[in-house]
Amino acid sequence: MVDVETFRAALGELAAGVNIVTTRLNGERRGITATAVCSVCAQPATVLACTNRSTGTFKMIRDSGTFAVNILTDAHQSAAETFAGRSGLQGDDRFEPALWSAGAALGLPVLNGATALECEVSEIVNSGTHAVIFGRVMGAEVKGVAPLVYHAGGFRGLMRFNESATG
């Protein structure tokens, strides 16, 4: 079996979209930065997100039965770092009120300017220290902007194809 350092080095070469997975229960909000998010199927519209089972965010997703995937742009790098735990802030303190609103479908925390998918949990599968959370997409706010990605240990903004055309 491959050692942890080699595993991390290999996956460091995989470019991944940067997202903030959020949830809400009884007036409290939680969220984490996640790169392990992807589509599962279009009918019914389903995505998955992987989270560490020891986090308050996972526990609240499990208890509330809902989560939102906020697909970030390069303008959201600071938020990505905050929700990755780099600011020292915890729990609801990570949310800046001016940057967040309630999603139209389920009222979940949605980051202004981010494409957001509000989901109801359909299944949770445990794997090692993490859980794979499957969610049926109940609502989407599409912004049509270029995503923030994580590659080789750092954040990188991408340019939309039509923005790179020189005419």
pLDDT digits (tens, 9 = 90+) for 63-103: 999 999 999 998 999 999 999 998 888 899 999 866 999 99
CA 119/CA 64 separation, integer angstroms = 11
Do 106 and 120 form a contact (C-beta atoms < 8 A)? Answer: yes
In the chain, the domains with their CATH numbers are 4-155 (2.30.110.10)
Per the structure block, which two tokens stand in for 52?
Answer: 């560490």
Average pLDDT over residues 114-118: 97
Q: Where do we find the tokens 């706010």?
A: 141
Q: Is the pLDDT of residue 167 over 50?
A: no
Do 66 and 120 form a contact (C-beta atoms < 8 A)? Answer: yes
> Per-residue confidence at 34, pLDDT binned at 50, 70, 90?
very high
Higher-pLDDT residue of 48 and 1 is: 48
Higher-pLDDT residue of 122 and 154 is: 122
